[in-house]
């Protein structure tokens, strides 16, 4: 028998839904992902599109994300995956993200989903090569920055441009 989440969970999810609906277009846009929510036994889920930060190799791109909330939210972090391929040391080819904020020890119940999206945008602007998921990309970022920038721009143009127009 499936346990129902506590009432506070529903209140917090409703608040987060309102906050996501009011996102700054320069940051991201989000819409409910009912198919993912059904597959995850009703866990709230969103499809988000995160804008590439200005003055970076990701500028002009729009990166699709999948965002789902565990039943223990807001006490545990949301699950976030990039659906758009991206050349970044902290984002794996399968879309997994290495960001302290998204770990149980780095997450705070007071963190909102829009502020988490802002942190992801900041990660795009300032990769952390010392805590990388993709070692080869981290080495390129550290030792061949111009090549990294060219490849990141090429990935953005190839994979993230179609989302930007939408």
Q: What is the pLDDT of residues 18-50, one digit of tens each?
A: 777 776 766 677 777 765 554 445 678 888 999
Domain boundaries, the chain: 7-165
Catalytic residue among 23, 98, 102, 113: 98
pLDDT tens-place string over residues 94-143: 999 999 999 999 999 999 998 999 999 999 999 999 999 999 999 999 99
3-state SS class at 47:
strand
- Cα separation of 162 and 165, whole Å? 6
Fold annotation for 7-165? Ubiquitin Conjugating Enzyme (3.10.110)
Going by the DSSP 8-state scheme, the letter that residue 31 receives in this structure is E
- Cα separation of 26 and 23, whole Å? 8
Is 48 in the active site? no
Classify residue 112 by burial, with Cβ atoms within 10 Å: 0-12, 13-18, 19+: middle
Helices (DSSP H) in the chain: which residue ranges?
A: 7-21, 34-39, 113-125, 135-143, 145-155, 161-165
């Amino acid at each position: 028998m499936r346990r129902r989440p506590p009432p506070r969970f529903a209140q917090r999810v409703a608040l987060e839904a309102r906050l996501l609906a009011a996102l700054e277009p320069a940051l991201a846009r989000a819409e409910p992902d009912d198919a993912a929510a059904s597959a995850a036994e009703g866990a709230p889920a969103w499809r988000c599109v995160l804008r590439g930060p200005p003055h970076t190799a990701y500028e002009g791109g729009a990166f699709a994300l999948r965002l789902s909330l565990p039943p223990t939210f807001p006490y545990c972090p949301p699950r976030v995956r990039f659906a758009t391929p991206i050349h970044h040391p902290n984002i794996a080819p399968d879309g997994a993200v290495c960001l302290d904020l998204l770990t149980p020890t780095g997450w705070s119940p007071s963190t909102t989903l829009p502020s988490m999206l802002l942190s992801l945008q900041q990660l795009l602007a300032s990769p952390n090569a010392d805590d990388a998921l993709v070692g080869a990309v981290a080495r390129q970022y550290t030792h061949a920055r111009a090549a990294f920038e060219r490849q990141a721009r090429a990935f953005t143009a190839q994979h993230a441009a179609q989302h930007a127009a939408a």
